[in-house]
Amino acid sequence: MVRSLTKRVGFKIGDYWVTHRKRNYSVRGVSPETVGRKFSLWEMEPGRWRANLNDSTGRHRKKFKAMSLVEAVEKANHQFFGREEIDPASHLTISDCFLEWRKRLSCREATIKSDYWPRVRQFVRWADSHGLAYWSELRLQHLQQYANDAAESGNSRSTINLKSRVLSMAARWASLN
């Protein structure tokens, strides 16, 4: 058990780090399989729990019965991440990962076409030219190189941030799926 500077108590349950807040528990993945997963748990009454997950596809809430916090973490993990609707991101090509991410965006199609997708196409072309085919091959060094190449091409700082934003949004989605 560890105390943080804010006097919140944290402890590990399975592959998750659980932090007790005033009325709820914040749950974050810590193992390679669960890193990037994050959800909250509330004990509504003894034996009844509610789990909340906010991700790129929106807000998800589940209610279930569990006798302990450990059981609640396991059930929430199974509810939110137990089933695979698509191939895991590690087996997707970079293009396919962006296509799956696009299907789950909650913004208007005009925003996707005018703002997000041109930047996605630029990155996919860059990744192809650097021999990167699968999402699982991407590392921080590749993203840094992409930003450096954009800077060397004369792009301003804000343009580089916009180009990187779609990557971070898709990476967040991929880490949850």
Each residue's pLDDT tens digit, 20-76: 888 899 999 888 778 788 999 999 999 999 999 887 667 788 899 999 999 999 999
pLDDT reading at 130 higher than 70: yes
**104: Cβ–Cβ under 8 A, 6 or more apart, which residues?**
56, 57, 173
Residues 60 and 93 in one domain: no
Residues 18 and 61 in one domain: yes
| Mean pLDDT within 146-175 | 90
Compute the distance between CA of residue 125 and CA of residue 154 in angstroms, rounded to an integer: 18
Helices (H), 34-156: 69-81, 94-103, 109-111, 117-129, 140-152
Number of domains comprising the chain: 2
Compute the distance between CA of residue 6 and CA of residue 76 in angstroms, rounded to an integer: 26
Q: Which pLDDT value is given to residue 84?
A: 45
**20: Cβ–Cβ under 8 A, 6 or more apart, which residues?**
8, 9, 10
Residues 27 and 45 in one domain: yes
Instruction: Pick 135 or 145 by higher pLDDT.
Output: 145
Residues 37 and 74 in one domain: yes
Compute the distance between CA of residue 48 and CA of residue 46 in angstroms, rounded to an integer: 6
Q: Which pLDDT value is given to residue 18?
A: 93
Compute the distance between CA of residue 81 and CA of residue 138 in angstroms, rounded to an integer: 22
Domain that holds residue 64: 2-81
Residues 157 and 122 in one domain: yes
Query: 30 φ, ψ to 5°?
Result: -125, -15
Residues 69 and 132 in one domain: no
Q: Which pLDDT value is given to residue 40?
A: 93
Residue tagged 């193992």 (tokens): 31
Residues 75 and 43 in one domain: yes
| Mean pLDDT within 97-104 | 86
State the DSSP code for 85. Answer: S
Residues 75 and 112 in one domain: no
Residues 56 and 121 in one domain: no
Residue tagged 């091409």 (tokens): 153
**Where is the domain boundary, 62, 81, 100?**
81
Q: Which pLDDT value is given to residue 87?
A: 44
Compute the distance between CA of residue 101 and CA of residue 172 in angstroms, rounded to an integer: 10
Q: Which pLDDT value is given to residue 85?
A: 44
**Where is the domain boundary, 19, 54, 81?**
81
pTM of the model: 0.50
Residues 63 and 107 in one domain: no
E strand or H helix that includes residue 39: strand 38-45
Q: For the chain, give the longest Cα–Cα distance.
A: 60
**Where is the domain boundary, 81, 107, 136?**
81
Q: Which pLDDT value is given to residue 152?
A: 95
| Mean pLDDT within 138-160 | 92
Residues 101 and 139 in one domain: yes
Confidence of residue 93 (pLDDT cuts 50, 70, 90): confident
Are 169 and 56 in contact, with CB atoms under 8 Å apart? yes
Compute the distance between CA of residue 75 and CA of residue 35 in angstroms, rounded to an integer: 17
